[in-house]
Structure 1
Amino acid sequence: MSSPPNNPSPNPSIVVHLVKPTGSSDGLNSALELPTSVGTAKTYTPPDDENETDGLPIITDTDLDLARLLRIHKVPIASSGSGTDGGFWPLKLLHRILSRDRVQRELRIHYKEHTNDELQRLLNKIRPIHNPKQGSVEDNTHCIRIFALLTLCDKAEDIESFINNGHSDDILPVTKQCTCRRPNSVCSCGVCKQNDRQLTEIDRSTREGGFAFVSRVKIHPSSHGFRDVLQENIDRVYLQIKLSHEVFALKTLREENTRNHEEDFRRELAQLKRFNGLVHNHLVTLLATYNFRGKYCFLFPCANCDLDEFWESTEPKFDTETVRWVAKQMAGIMAAIHIIHDPKHLHDKLNPQEKRYGRHGDIKPDNILWFNLGEDKSDRGSLVISDMGLTSFNRDSSRSYIPNKNVLGAPGYRPPECDIEGGTVSRLFDIWTLGCLFLEMLTWLLGGQKLRNEFRKERMTVKYITGHVSDVFFEILKMNKATTEVNVAKVKDAVTKWFITLHQHPLCTRFIHDALDIIEKKMIIVMSADLKRATSAELEIEFKRLYEDLTDADFTDPDPQIRQYESTVGVEAKLKSIAQQTIEESGTQILPYIGSKPRSSMTDYDKLDDRTEKGAHWTRPGGLIE
């Protein structure tokens, strides 16, 4: 409970997607600096026993009057300038403070002439005898909030008038009527300042990146029940993330950088509901969403950091347990991606024509979160895939036909098909980006952030089509032909040589050799007419096998190998018009291709998934969807 704001608000909503919390969400509203009109969750469990802490105070100063107790034990928050008093009372806390004994003593002070039966009637209406069971619907027919507000206003004696007139907590919050919404009044065409909504623009361009910002927020433990329900009912997810009592991650979409704010919100929400920690413990778990004053927000467990920050701040200890942890995370991430690519959990009740397939579209270190499980120092935590904002989910008949004109993703992990005419954003797009991430992970394992920085420096030696050096993993070269219609795309020599560098590293083990071979030969590949990347179905089996083989102690013993360097064969590629225009405008001098005859260009991007693999059943795509 918090004091009703002076300003009216629109009708936002909080929706809990994973579980229904066991606490009233009015604490959530205040913790996020929102007015109580945001709404309340539908379940709560006020404690009976004052020795039960669960984040609530044990009240021993029983001689103080109720108003004083309420003020002392309110949950403080930073002032938001919204007219609130900087504190709030979650419903659980109100039940702790306003016990039946204390309420009864207060009533006897104000209603000395009442009989015991009359006092009992008021008491039962204010403070129920029995606390609702966990998961039950909250009963707003009582008056505990109204009684608390009247007590704070030194008007506790008026509670009988509210009860006799049929009022209860379901009338709250009481707000001042905004003049532009008063009945029978002329509405202004201007935007209501008290509403604080923005006018919708007809056309709004989308920028690369910056779709949302994430902040850490505190929610009083008595205002939610996420931790309890996760631990009791979904033990696998709870063990994977060790949900904090108070700190959560709040992701807010940036309205100014999207053409359709609500559509983006609903799209990401749909992906998060399809692919989450309940489906696989290496996928992020959505807890709740809300929209308020044009802002669309997602609430998640709060990770310690993303993978990029983890690599930078953590020096790996090269031992059996660390190598086993890396292998486990790679196998887990690969399995999670395969679930997105081929979500069998969604196909059980669908016929083949209705089956749908997904892709992530933005795999990068920033979108992999690290959760420190904390209690055991030997536990190195867990990596979880996040940010489903660019994730797409398409019918079987259209899953590979998405053109690449609006492809974003991490610039360094950008696959070649982004610049090649006819290139589509298929699931094999994810395989390239995941291969880049895995290669960096093994680099970090062998030499920490220092070796990772060296790898990036090696990749920065070749100019990209923009005229600037770039850390992308491929390069565009010029054919030694009179025509300029065809170029060559190939994996950078620096990347190919880096594989050799890691194979020769003094700490390199059989596991790392095998993982490097999979990444080089099946993932980081410029696709041609006769060579494609492996599917997630194949790679899930490969990385699972590697992890299981780590039971052999020799698998983690150093075993450096000398590998012979062979330059990667290029692939003929006609560039997209925008890529060709970029080269011309930047004046970039494209280097000539030197090497074996390039492989024939790929002309059937639309049929990338037109294959039947073990564990997946796919049919031919049918048409453009974007």
Structure 2
Amino acid sequence: MHIPVNASDLPPGVLPSIAKQIRSKLIPSCGDPRSKFLPVGELESILTHDVIESVLQEILVSEPADLSTKIQDKDKPTLKIFATLILIEQASSIGQFIEHGVSDDQLPLAPEDTCFQNWHWGDYQIDSFCDSQYMLTAPVFNFTKFQHFELDKSFRMPFLERLEWKARGTHGEIAKVKIHPHHERWEGHSISDHRISYFAVKRFTSGDATEFDKEQTALLQFSDSRNEHKNLIKLLQSYQLGDEYYMIFHWAQGNLAEFWEKHPSEPQKKEGWTWLIQQCLGMSDGLSKVHGHNRPPERLRDSSEEIEENVQDQGRHGDIKPENILFFKDTESSEWYFVIADFTLMRFHADGTINNTHASQIDYTRMYCPPEVELGPNVTQSYDIWTLGCVYLEIITWYLLGYDAVRNDTFETSSGHKELSFRSRRQKEDGYPLHSGGKHSGDKFFILSRRSTPRWVRFLRNNEHCSDAIHDFLALIVNHMVVPSPENRYSMDKVREELQRIASTCANDTDYCYTGNPQGFLKRWIFDLLF
């Protein structure tokens, strides 16, 4: 809470008192006591109109009321400049700044700026001003709309704790940060109403703007109010600090693999499967948006959304895996929900060019890599279908068998037997690396004949909690997603439609949704043989 300073409360010698008050309100930036900033709002509570007049009277200004009004001018204020001058004991120079049209919105000033050449300041005064001004220029993040800041390396960020860089990814690393609440702006909320505890800041480690620009371009496709999707990560703000590049996101509770480990599966509870199928549906819906399936037709687009002739609005994520799927808690329902993140490898293309990416240009995660990366020549959107199918299979494995069956080396079955986990079996039975004179050496886990079903899927279908809904989900994965030939895979739109059908049937048929039917796989196996 800001308590305005009353001029009558000030002791003799106003300037030292005001400078002391300003310094007392400074906060360490990123936990560094050597680099401090003054939160927005504090300055206005210290330098009130009466206090400014008292300062001006002390420095023998002839018309203090008039100059005070100019310092607090709404269009071109110089309050930050005046505070900086007070800190360096040059308050009497405020009139020169105003006379030369220099205002707060022009900060930070550089030593070579022409305004300093117009009056007799020495190098010491200029350097003192240029150093001290950064205490008053910490950026304010308006989260109601995206903004990119280009800041020189001297800027103080309004972060309240030391940044510890962890969770290193393909091109960057993540730190958990708390932003001073006075440096956040949210639609429909005052400063005191809306205080999100933490944010994630991603720092690009390559030092190359190219990867930053690529990811930013991809993220901005889904980061405004017209295009955002609950199951796609939203870019809140970005900034360049010196020669380093950063992005700000909401802070997640963890990734999907961590979710499996922290939250034991309970297939015996009915609500668990209903929630899970909705998460899988939501992710496919978000990726349908990435793939360009659910964009509005040209004739239905608002005139303000005119698209350039060569617009790139058909995308491919390129690296779907549990580590790139985050989980958050819904503030209204308190339910967890999954969000697809890390768009580093995402690429967008214009219509007709989405299938022109050569396989040799693709970065990938081996365990989720489809065969066309090795066989070539080109990679299409169906790349995402395969990788999503692998993740879906892991999700069902976690739901029916628990975390150990997904990520540990072995797990214990209900009968007490030790079995290899999904990961162990996948690594044991795949055929990678596939550098064998251009011939595919064979992924034994998935790449099977039409009349065969992966052994792991048969194992899941025989689980006591495997309902008809789960059988149908497994059929979608095996028959239409993790299919060796890309052209035989469903589009993301068709994956979404099938999951919508399963979810809708679950809502109307509790037996279909929840009742275990471990023999149901026999009917599907016979169907596969016949058809």
| 1:569-612 per-position Cα deviation (integer Å, ceiling 9, x unaligned) | xxxxxxxxxxxxxxxxxxxxxxxxxxx9xxxxxxxxxxxxxxxx
In structure 1, what is the Cα distance between the partners aligned to 2:443 and 2:363?
19
> Aligned equivalents of 1:177 and 1:329: distance in 2?
56
Are the equivalent residues in 2 in contact too, given 1:306–1:370 (CA < 8 A)? yes
Select the residue among 188, 209, 217 that pairs with 2:177: 217
Q: In 1, distance between residues paired with 2:359 and 2:523?
A: 33
The AA in structure 2 aligned to 1:325 is W
Query: Relative to 1, partners in 2 of residues 1:446 and 1:276: Cα closer, same or farther, differing over 3 Å?
Result: farther
Alignment check: 8 A CA contact 1:369 1:383 kept: yes
Range that drifts further, 147-156 or 348-357? 348-357
Question: Are the equivalent residues in 1 in contact too, given 2:5–2:51 (CA < 8 A)?
Answer: no
Query: Secondary structure of 1:87's match?
Result: strand
Aligned length: 436
Aligned to 2:315: 358
Residues 361 and 391, structure 1, Cα contact 8 Å, conserved in 2: yes
Distance of aligned partners of 1:357 and 1:157 in 2 relative to their CA distance in 1, 3 Å threshold:
closer
On the 8 A contact 1:431/1:523 being kept in 2, the answer is yes
Partner of 1:445: 399
Decide which of 470, 474, 477 is 1:516's aligned counterpart.
474
Instruction: Assess if the C-alpha contact under 8 Å between 2:236 and 2:249 holds in 1.
Output: yes
For 1:154 and 1:177, the matched residues in 2 are separated by 21
Relative to structure 1, the CA distance from residue 452 to residue 556 in structure 2 (aligned partners, 3 Å threshold; closer, same or farther) is same
Task: State how far apart, in whole Å, the 1-side matches of 2:292 and 2:483 are.
Answer: 22
Contact 1:243–1:302 (8 Å) recurs in 2: no
Match of 2:429 in 1: 462
The alpha-carbon deviation at position 372 of structure 1 amounts to: 2.0
Compute the displacement of 1:538 (Å): 1.0
* Counterpart residue identity of residue 541, structure 1: E
For residues 485 and 224 of structure 1, do their structure 2 counterparts lie closer, same or farther at Cα, with a shift above 3 Å needed? closer
Deviates more, 1:408-417 or 1:100-109: 100-109
CA contact 1:403–1:424 (8 Å) conserved in 2:
yes
Letter in 2 for 1:100: H
Deviates more, 1:343-352 or 1:395-404: 343-352
Per mean C-alpha deviation after superposition, the further-off stretch among 349-358 and 385-394 is: 349-358
> Which amino acid in 1 is paired with 2:29?
I
Q: Counterpart of 2:88? A: 153
Structure 2 CA distance for partners of 1:293 and 1:76, relative to 1, 3 Å: closer
Q: Which 5+ residue runs of structure 2 have no aligned equivalent? A: 11-16, 118-151, 154-167, 299-305, 408-420
1:182-201 matches, within 5 Å, as none
Residue 502 and residue 293 in structure 1: after superposition, are their counterparts in 2 closer, same or farther (change >3 A)? same
Q: Among residues 495, 499, 516, which one is paired with 1:543 in the alignment?
A: 499
User: Which of residues 286, 289, 305 in structure 1 aligns to 2:238?
Assistant: 289
Q: Answer with 447-456 or 423-432: which moved more.
A: 447-456
CA contact (8 A) 1:305 1:369 kept: yes
**Structure 1 residue 268, shift from structure 2 partner:** 1.9
In structure 1, the residue matched to 2:371 is 416
Distance 2:41 2:351 in 1: 48
What does residue 261 of structure 2 align with?
312
**Deviations 1:528-550 (CA, angstroms, capped at 9, x unpaired):** 8xx70111121111112222333
Contact 1:364–1:434 under 8 Å retained in 2: yes
Partner of 1:254: 205
CA distance in 2, matches of 1:277, 1:323: 31
Answering whether residue 217 of structure 2 is matched by residue 273 of structure 1, we say no
Give 1:315 shift: 1.8
Question: CA shift at 1:255, angstroms?
Answer: 1.8
Q: CA, structure 1 residues 462+357, in 2 after alignment: closer, same or farther (shift >3 Å)? A: same
Q: How far apart are residue 283 of structure 1 and its match? A: 1.4
Alpha-carbon separation, structure 2, partners of 1:102 and 1:219:
30
Q: 1:533 corresponds to which residue?
A: 489
- Partner residue of 1:473? none
- Please point out which of 332, 349, 354 is paired with 1:399: 354
Describe the SS at the equivalent of 2:454.
Answer: helix
SS in 2 for 1:461: helix
Q: Is the alpha carbon distance of 1:105 and 1:315 closer, same or farther for their aligned partners in structure 2, counting shifts above 3 Å?
A: farther
Secondary structure of residue in 2 paired with 1:370: strand
User: Is contact 2:406-2:423 (8 Å) kept?
Assistant: yes
Measured after TM superposition, the shift of residue 558 of structure 1 is: 3.2
Q: Report deviation, 1:405.
A: 1.1
Q: Relative to structure 2, which stretch is displaced further, 288-297 or 405-414?
A: 288-297
Shift of 1:431: 0.2
- Deviations 1:387-414 (CA, angstroms, capped at 9, x unpaired): 2221121222222122111322221111
TM norm structure 1: 0.62
- DSSP-derived class of the 1:76 partner: strand
Cα distance between partner residues in 2 of 1:108 and 1:419 = 78
Structure 1 position 322 matched with structure 2 position 282: no
Alpha-carbon distance in structure 1 between the residues aligned to 2:38 and 2:310:
52
Q: What is the alpha-carbon root mean square deviation over aligned residues?
A: 3.8
Aligned to 1:69: 21
Equivalent in the alignment of 2:71:
126
The residue matched to 1:409 in structure 2 has which SS? coil
Aligned position for 1:612: none
TM-score w.r.t. the length of structure 2 is 0.72
Deviation at 1:104, TM superposition (A): 3.9
**3-state SS of the aligned residue for 1:345?**
coil
For 2:344, what is the secondary structure of its paired residue?
coil
- Which residue identity lines up with residue 333 of structure 1 in the other structure? M
Judged with a 3 Å threshold, the aligned counterparts in structure 2 of structure 1 residues 177 and 538 are, in CA distance, closer, same or farther, namely same
1:185 is matched with: none
Counterpart Cα distance in 2 of 1:477 and 1:409: 15
Q: Specify the code of the residue in structure 2 equivalent to 1:505.
A: N
Q: What's the offset of the Cα at 1:434?
A: 0.3
Whole-Å Cα distance in 1 between the matches of residues 101 and 307 of structure 2? 51
The answer to whether the Cα contact below 8 Å between 1:369 and 1:385 also exists between their aligned partners in 2 is yes
Deviation at 1:125, TM superposition (A): 1.6
Judging by fraction of residues, say which structure has more helix.
2
Aligned CA distance change for structure 1 residues 316 and 95 (closer, same or farther; 3 Å): farther
Measured against aligned partners, the alpha-carbon deviations of 1:280-337 in whole angstroms (never above 9, x if no partner) come to: 2211111222223332222222222222222222223442332222111111110111
SS in 2 for 1:549: helix
Q: Once the 2 structures are TM-superposed, how far is the Cα of residue 526 of structure 1 from its aligned partner? A: 1.1
Check whether the contact 2:447–2:484 (CA below 8 A) recurs between aligned residues.
Answer: no
